[in-house]
Amino acid sequence: MEKELQIRFNEHKRHNIPFGILFIDIDNFKKVNDTYGHNVGDEVLRFVAQTFVANSRPFDLYGRWGGEEFIAIIRNIEPKELANLGERLRILIEHSYILHGNEKLHVTVSLGATSLQPNDSLESLLKRADSLLYESKNQGRNRLTLA
């Protein structure tokens, strides 16, 4: 993912192709692991990742950033469209579930969304997305914050 970010950054500098990133975190994931075990936690991770891939364009890229965090690198997109995509993914995940025995397990995600700005470095872009993600979490989770 870091290599892909660098490629998109260089592509933007050379050809002015816009891109944005989504930082995505599964809300209260530790509770899922603690309540149902790590095997179910792994199922939740796969379910969330499959939701991203099934509802995105073929050239958008999603990857695990660590633990229950994901990053999405979305090419050729303006900020409003990035927010729309993030909201669509958030709502799809909120209204979907996996089955564990007879129980429907629901999870939600919090997102930080931002586009590359003229004076950004990769570090500043990632830092802003991370801050926006934590703003979403601090404001109650299951939401997207865009800047």
Catalytically active residues are: 68
**Residues near 22 by beta carbon (within 8 Å), at least 6 away in sequence:** 70, 71, 72, 74, 82, 85, 86, 89, 111, 112, 113, 129
Q: How many helices (H) and strands (E) does the chain have?
A: 5, 7
DSSP annotation of 106 reads -
